[in-house]
């Protein structure tokens, strides 16, 4: 039973992941070709923004990777020594410590949401304002 359920999970994950990779490669290439056919001068001008978008993506990925690191470490430490925690009756202390990590993770995720919103919203606002 477990083997078949794991195979189903792998199948679903691989199918979805391959689609995302395919979509991430084909759509930019097709859009670039269409843009060059439509107006090659304007396309060259808009390609100036690509290095900035790549830089912004790298910065965002590094910032988002650092979020929640302390929370994961605290949870792993608590769950790996759960018998010791209960043996010394320190579950209240660990709950408070984990709660502090949750509060900081909440604040970091709010910042991440603001960063993600501005990362996705700024180019769309620029495109929308250029149509005026």
CA distance 128 to 132: 7
CA distance 100 to 44: 50
Question: CB–CB of 85/94 below 8 Å?
Answer: yes
Pick from 127, 120, 116: nearest CA to 46 = 127
- Residue pLDDT, tens place only, 38-74: 998 988 888 888 888 888 778 777 776 766 566 667 6
Q: Which residue has the higher pLDDT, 85 or 22?
A: 22
pLDDT in the model for residue 33: 92
Structure tokens at 37: 């056919």
Domain locations in the chain as residue ranges = 1-38, 50-130
CA distance 98 to 75: 7
- Residue pLDDT, tens place only, 100-123: 777 777 887 788 788 778 777 877
CA distance 21 to 8: 20
Question: CB–CB of 106/72 below 8 Å?
Answer: no
pLDDT at residue 3 greater than cutoff 60 = no
């Amino acid at each position: 039973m477990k083997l078949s359920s794991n195979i189903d999970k792998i199948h679903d994950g691989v199918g979805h992941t391959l689609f995302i990779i395919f979509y991430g490669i084909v759509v930019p290439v097709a859009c670039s070709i269409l843009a060059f056919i439509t107006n090659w001068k304007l396309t060259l001008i808009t390609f100036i923004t690509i290095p900035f978008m790549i830089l912004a993506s790298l910065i965002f990925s590094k910032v988002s990777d650092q979020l929640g690191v302390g929370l994961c470490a605290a949870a792993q430490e608590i769950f790996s020594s759960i018998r010791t925690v209960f043996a010394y009756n320190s579950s209240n202390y660990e709950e408070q410590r984990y709660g502090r990590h949750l509060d900081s993770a909440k604040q970091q995720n709010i910042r991440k949401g603001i960063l993600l919103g501005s990362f996705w919203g700024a180019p769309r606002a620029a495109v929308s304002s250029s149509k005026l």
